[in-house]
Structure 1
Amino acid sequence: MFEILKHRTYRHLFLAQVIALIGTGLITIALSLLAYDLAKDKAAQVLGIALAIKMIAYIMVAPVASAYAERLPRKKVLVTLDIIRAGTALFLPFVTEIWQIYLLIFILQSASAAFTPTFQAVIPDVLPDEKEYTNALSLSRLASDLENIISPMLAGLLLTVISYHNLFLGTVLGFIGSALFVITTQLPTAKPSKVTGVLARIKQGATIYFHTPRLKGLLALNLAIASASAMVIVNTVVLVQSTFKLTEHATTWAFGLFGLGSMLAAFTLPKVLDKFNDRLVMIGGTTVLVVGLFAGVFLTSYNWLLALWFMLGIGYSVSQTPTGRLIRKSASSENRTALFAAQFAFSHACWLITYPLVGWLSSHLGTINAFLPMAMLALIALVTAIVVWKKETDIPHTHSHDDLPADHEHFTNFGKGNNHRHAFIYDGLH
């Protein structure tokens, strides 16, 4: 897995991602403390609204921003967005009103909504080999899981010598560091799309998404993944500290076991994906999530919670990590950014549904009883994915394109004549 870090361009992009992730983790903790300072007992409400604003920004801004961004040089776009994020974080320590938090979070997350799909679309062009790209996806998953563990520890150490306001400076440095690493790369130029106009590009991404069986299946899997992860994110502290009457330290261990399960799965996924296809692996991982949610109905102890969270962490990583492979094989370079933006928006729309749903069910039915309806929702989503994503759509079929020039990119990627074989793709050629 770590062999791909010898690739200079990818290594610098990966380091940019890691540094930005640590900065994002610090801002999450600092924002929680700032919200408590300003709102006291209403801090949870403030953070809930901030989270909703983040999701709305992701859903609304990502497709629009990506349609503009893909017409511009990738490096300049990524660096500019990092500078915007750093500048926005710089203002957060000086906030005195709650509405100012909401405004700055919207600006910050809007920049992230444009940055992430653009960044994701670069990696397949930097690493065209499928095995290398798979390793990159696993490393990315690993980096995200490590951030969930390292950032709280780093913040705790820093808070022993500085005030939480200075944590925002760590976020600023993270985004600046990310920009500096991007500057040092040589990024391949994306082939411009034949579809012009912002609205047309937004429509293009959604059209490809909903005409591709594997991506329709992915959308259903997104809902199942969001159902499980929302239970973990929303209810861990409630289960540990209210249901089982334990401490914040025990809460940290519970989150840590979820992250550990995800990390271990990320380590093994490249070898698993060498032997099994994406559909089987992702449906298998989602099945683990569904079984775990049903098992949560019988949750009776903290030790059982740790085991369950570890299991859900494995299922979460296995079901989510190969997503980039599906996008890569479903579009050519010219449509990839639009497709990553569509996936980014649709997946976060699922979280926008499940976060408040878990909160409402937990408050009205009880935290343990919330497992059953979320398990049912995840099961329905899983069955839907199996039905709409038929395995035969991923079997390569031989066909020809007599009207294309001999040096066309499509032939370069998939071969000519009788050697021209690939799985289902919906684009201007098919």
Structure 2
Amino acid sequence: MLQILKHRQFAPLFLAQLVALFGTGLATVALGLLAFDLAGEKAGLVLGLVFTIKMVAYVGIAPIAGAFADRLPRRKMLVMLDLVRAGVAMMLPFVAEVWQIFGLIFLLQAASAAFTPTFQASIPDILPDEQDYTKALSLSRLAYDLESLLSPMLAGAVLLFFAYQALFVGTIIGFVASALLIFSVALPNPKPSEPRGIYERTTRGIWIYLATPRLRGLLALCMAVSAIGSMVLVNSVVLVRETLGLADVHVAYSYAAFGAGSMIAALSLPRLLDRLLDRQVMLSGVAILILAHGALITVMMLGQFSFVSLLIGWLFIGVGYSAILTPSGRLLQRSSHPEDRPAVYAAQFALSHACWLICYPLAGWMQTSMGSEVTMSVLTVIALSAALVATQLWPADAERVIEHSHDDLPPDHPHLKDSHGHVHSHVFVVDDYHVQWPGRP
């Protein structure tokens, strides 16, 4: 897997992703502590609203950015967005009111909503070979996991000597370093898509996404991930500080356990994906996710909840989380042409974060109003229901090469070259010639 780092274009991009993630990870810990400092036992509600604002920015901005990503110089766009994020991070240490957190987070995440799908769509253009791309996806997932594991540890070390506001300095450094690394790489600009109206350009990625069965299944799995993941990200600080009465540093360790589980899965996935279908791996991941969360609920009900049980639960949830999200890039690559890829990646970014938009405020509100056991039970039911829906939307017998007909095209149409009549077979991707999946509504 590490051999992919020898690629001259991918290596700086991976390093840029890594340093930006470390900066973001430090900010995540700092924001949790800032929320607790400003709101006390209502920190879960504040964080739920913070993450909700983040999702609103993602859902609203990403499709628009994806519609125009193939029209702008990709490198300049990414560098400018990194610098915007660094500028916003500079203001976070000076926040004194909760409403200020909300405003700055919206600006920060609006820039991220434009940055992330554009960055992700650049990788398959650099690495067209699927095996190389799979390694890059696993390495990218590993970057997220290393951040989840190491940045909380780094945050814990910093907190031993400094106030949590110092963590935001690491965020600024991360974004600036990412901008410099991206600037050092000559990114290929994709072939522009056909001229279309603004509305069609904005919605095209979502149309392709929702017309593809495996991507509809992926969206259902994203809802399961969001339901369980929101408990980890929103309420860890409450479980550790309020329920268990532990210190700030233990909050960082709880995030690290989640990251460690995700890293274990990421390291195992390249070999697993060579032997198993994406669907098998991802459905196994959601099963692990739900069972681990259910086990934690049982421990709570028995009155045996402890920091060790929380760490073990978060570890296994991290495994399931990574097993679902890591292969998702392969599904997006297979389901789109290069010129449509930025829009489809933006659609995944927006639609998956729409799931978080539902679950983040739900997790924060229920934790504050009803307590941990009820909150976790409701989120588990949501995840289980979403997993069952995914098995129906993404059929086990789905094939990439599908025989289909084009009765609406003339026999001499270029798309029907080397075909016998109007019927032919090829890797099926939703586009202007294939507007509906064969045999599917």
Normalization by structure 1: what TM-score?
Answer: 0.89
Q: In 1, distance between residues paired with 2:240 and 2:90?
A: 34
* 1:229 matched residue in structure 2: 229
Deviations 1:394-424 (A, max 9, x none): 3423579963389xxxx9xxxx769x96443
* 1:371 matched residue in structure 2: 376
* Pairwise CA distance, 1:213: 0.4
* 1:425 matched residue in structure 2: 429
**Change in 2 beyond 3 A, CA 1:362/1:392:** same
* 2:387 matched residue in structure 1: 382
Q: In 1, distance between residues paired with 2:8 and 2:378?
A: 47
Deviations 1:195-250 (A, max 9, x none): 42332111101111111101111111111111111222234344445555555555
Higher alpha-carbon deviation: 86-95 or 319-328: 86-95
Q: Is the 1:282–1:319 Cα contact (8 Å) retained in structure 2?
A: yes
* 2:409 matched residue in structure 1: none
**Change in 2 beyond 3 A, CA 1:373/1:99:** closer
* Pairwise CA distance, 1:45: 4.8
Q: What SS does the corresponding residue of 1:397 show, helix, strand or coil?
A: strand
Q: Is the 2:159–2:249 Cα contact (8 Å) retained in structure 1?
A: no
Q: In 1, distance between residues paired with 2:236 and 2:97?
A: 29
Q: Which amino acid aligns with 2:134?
A: T
Q: Which has the higher contact order (CA 8 A, sep 6+)?
A: 2
Alignment of 1:295-314 (within 5 A): 295-299=295-299, 300-302=304-306, 303-314=308-319
Deviations 1:283-323 (A, max 9, x none): 12112222223333311343444333222111111011111
**Change in 2 beyond 3 A, CA 1:363/1:183:** closer
Q: Which amino acid aligns with 1:193?
A: S
**Change in 2 beyond 3 A, CA 1:140/1:379:** same
- Choose the corresponding residue for 2:413, options 385, 389, 403: 403
Q: Which amino acid aligns with 1:151?
A: S
* Pairwise CA distance, 1:393: 2.6
**Change in 2 beyond 3 A, CA 1:5/1:343:** same
Q: What SS does the corresponding residue of 2:186 show, helix, strand or coil?
A: coil
* Pairwise CA distance, 1:100: 3.5
Q: What SS does the corresponding residue of 2:433 show, helix, strand or coil?
A: coil
Q: What SS does the corresponding residue of 2:9 show, helix, strand or coil?
A: helix
* 1:143 matched residue in structure 2: 143
Q: What SS does the corresponding residue of 2:373 show, helix, strand or coil?
A: coil
- Choose the corresponding residue for 1:338, options 343, 347, 367: 343
Q: What SS does the corresponding residue of 2:18 show, helix, strand or coil?
A: helix
Q: Which amino acid aligns with 1:307?
A: I
Q: Which amino acid aligns with 1:404?
A: P
* 1:217 matched residue in structure 2: 217
**Change in 2 beyond 3 A, CA 1:16/1:49:** same
* 2:169 matched residue in structure 1: 169
* 2:324 matched residue in structure 1: 319
**Change in 2 beyond 3 A, CA 1:46/1:253:** closer
* Structure 2: unaligned runs, 5 residues or longer: 407-411, 435-441
Q: In 2, distance between residues paired with 1:317 and 1:96?
A: 36
Q: In 2, distance between residues paired with 1:248 and 1:100?
A: 23
Q: Which amino acid aligns with 1:56?
A: V
Q: Is the 1:393–1:423 Cα contact (8 Å) retained in structure 2?
A: no
* 1:201 matched residue in structure 2: 201
**Change in 2 beyond 3 A, CA 1:105/1:307:** closer
Deviations 1:91-150 (A, max 9, x none): 334445544432222111101000000000000111111111111111111111111222
Q: Which amino acid aligns with 2:379?
A: M
Q: Which amino acid aligns with 1:183?
A: F
* Pairwise CA distance, 1:41: 7.0
Q: What SS does the corresponding residue of 2:232 show, helix, strand or coil?
A: helix
* Pairwise CA distance, 1:160: 5.1
Alignment of 1:34-183 (within 5 A): 34-35=34-35, 45-95=45-95, 97-159=97-159, 164-183=164-183
* Structure 1: unaligned runs, 5 residues or longer: none
Normalization by structure 2: what TM-score?
Answer: 0.87
**Change in 2 beyond 3 A, CA 1:48/1:366:** closer
Q: Is the 2:81–2:115 Cα contact (8 Å) retained in structure 1?
A: yes
Higher alpha-carbon deviation: 290-299 or 215-224: 290-299
**Change in 2 beyond 3 A, CA 1:399/1:43:** closer
Q: Is the 1:396–1:422 Cα contact (8 Å) retained in structure 2?
A: yes
**Change in 2 beyond 3 A, CA 1:405/1:214:** closer
- Give percent identity, aligned residues only: 50
Q: In 2, distance between residues paired with 1:310 and 1:39?
A: 28
* 1:392 matched residue in structure 2: 397
